[in-house]
Amino acid sequence: MRKTICGLLVGFVFAFLIDALGGSAYAQIADVNAAINKAGRQRMLSQRIAKSYFQLGQGIAPEQSMRTLYSSISQFDRQLVELKNYAPTPEIRETYLKLEKSWLGYKDVLVGAAPNQANGKKVLDLSEEVLALAHQGTQQLEKHAGTTAGRLLNISGRQRMLAQRMAKFYQAAGWNIGGAQAAGEIDKARKEFAAALQELAAAPVNTPALRDELALVAQQWFFFENALDQRASGDKRLATNVATTSERILEVMENVVGLYERLPK
């Protein structure tokens, strides 16, 4: 297994470097709705990266986990540059400068060596630090927008993070690095996700397309909750189910957030 992971690591690190070198022409954020979406996505990526690291370290869906880890690192890098460039106030720019500093420390641990338990606790702690700053930036941008669309973007975007956060703590517990907090954090996130899903479903501005997508989220949420309930430490089959269902619910939530982003400002 060690040789398999090392082989994958070499291939994906090479692809990551090519992507980073070729990504100097960063996209520009067109408006505040797009900024809120990308800011919220940074929250999600902070958790998805840690989840993927823990999965890879345990040999859980290694190819998918490696792909997700390095594509997420690359996406975080790109969006951080975009958000710094867009920052509409000095306070928001300062938040993203702080996030950049925290992110560099996080990334050093992620790419410095193959995933291992010794660094796993550092990854868990740093993912929390990066999340806090990414959330601060998203909140600031929502306040700057001051619109219903901005609020719904923030709420729906946070759902992406919550799903990845639950999976992160599930996989951390399976690797014996989650500590006593893992079960409590999963349960807390579950309650927050369910409450926000109800709030989104009741939003008066929802279009038929949004109602359809939110119904799909509810279906995926059912499957994801079932996967989380199977808390058998060390069972790779169950852990793989969590890995897979967390990606499915993320995919549907991205569609929801994209629809909210296109609502009138």
Reported as a single tens digit per residue, the pLDDT across 113-142 is: 999 999 999 999 999 999 999 999 999 999
Say if CB 52 and CB 69 are below 8 A apart.
yes
Paired tokens of 254: 């991205």
Domain boundaries, the chain: 2-16+28-261
What is the Cα–Cα distance from 28 to 19, expressed in whole angstroms?
18
DSSP state letters, 69-82? HHHHHHHHHHHHHH
Going from the C-alpha of 9 to that of each of 14, 68, 110, 131, 187, the distances in angstroms are 8, 12, 11, 25, 33
Stretches where the chain sits below pLDDT 50 are 3-5, 8, 10, 14-15, 17-25
pLDDT score recorded for residue 21 = 43
Q: What is the chain's length?
A: 265
Cα three-residue angle 224-208-260, rounded to 5 degrees: 70
Paired tokens of 196: 């926000």
The three-state secondary structure class of 31 is coil
Say if CB 201 and CB 214 are below 8 A apart.
yes
Say if CB 113 and CB 53 are below 8 A apart.
no
What is the Cα–Cα distance from 81 to 182, expressed in whole angstroms?
32
What is the Cα–Cα distance from 138 to 115, expressed in whole angstroms?
29
pLDDT score recorded for residue 15 = 47
The three-state secondary structure class of 262 is coil
What is the value of pTM for the model shown?
0.91
